[in-house]
A and B are shown apart, each in its own frame.
Chain A
């Protein structure tokens, strides 16, 4: 019985998907003009309110036409996602499913309303402090363990996946869901990589019709990044602060081209293991001592160091991590330890869509004299209040950096 219903639902979806052109484009030239839209509106009003009997567009067609006219200049929209795949849309996406919680966060930044989201990953649901509005939304599982039945049952127009994480798992999700419903569109965005962050935001803004909100958010994001970039620009490469970054695993650092290497560079630092081609190398403690970093940045929030972030108010574990690093054998010879420049940062503000907050913190740690007026905490607060629309008091909750 359930299978029959699913088949029926898929057939209906297929029929709906067959209408490929821009809705209400009467002359079929693939461009919805103002006169065509006006005629469609008047026909609809005539039939519904004035006793008219002329053929009128359905309410769905009319709303879709209004969206296409207002946001896409009356034409189909062609979007190339971060994986390089081009998709052409003639109607807005009204039912969005996401396996990528970073993209969900970016959607919130660019003003996408939660009522368009019909399914989210289990990680989103496991974080009600940060995603309170998605309590009760369908749980799609994860990229590694997707719930296909649930994903098909929510009848998404589009499914959002990561572009560069777990590509084979994402490929499998696409193949399986397409075999159930061939009309589903798939988009792959990362939403956390600095190199494509603004480009991805703009593409999603165009796709979802939130262009103005997207530009407002990118202006905020750009003001932080440009402030940092502008002030560090004059520092010669050889004079940049040498930095040792360690992930939540002891001695696991960041090699050339890794995300953290990129973020150290953005903050004006010089990664002491940038000559390593392995993305995340496990380094010899002696090598850290010999390369003598001026600043050490330790990341917590994952692995065996799961504490802090939005769900943890106690700074004690951060302090303990800091003291443990400082007391490693012979590390008192390292400049960063000697000068008290060991910093701990939570992955929430450096590893995901909030990376620019982490970059602001690091820039201030690297060059305190250059950034006396940069207030990463204020940036964080503005991000949460204005762009995440979260009722979260940073003065009372959360632990993100140590020393604060």
Chain B
């Protein structure tokens, strides 16, 4: 175990951290980080130029040797600096930890509340609507990621 670890870490110095307001979800040495930022999909390898952008609701994929870690993420921010990739999102859930039923309830609730908002006037509903749409998007994202990567 320790041997292969040393072997693998040779010549590699890219690190990645996925951080939510509650905790650090992922922290480790990696080969490649793939995420969707403001202007499209980006893959970050070692020695990438420093960069700050936002990430869209979707997934972040982290490749480490043969392993791939996937997280369903809400929107947030993305920063590359000195071979450290930091993904700052409100939520980051591994496919195995996604509860599809819960995610579906979330979508339903957001949709119900959205339809209730429909008869309010524009000014009142603006920010609320955006928030609910975000919630629905994240719910759909969770379901999608769970279906694609989740076991069984």
- A and B part of one assembly: no
Residues of A within 8 A of B (CB): none
Residues of B within 8 A of A (CB): none
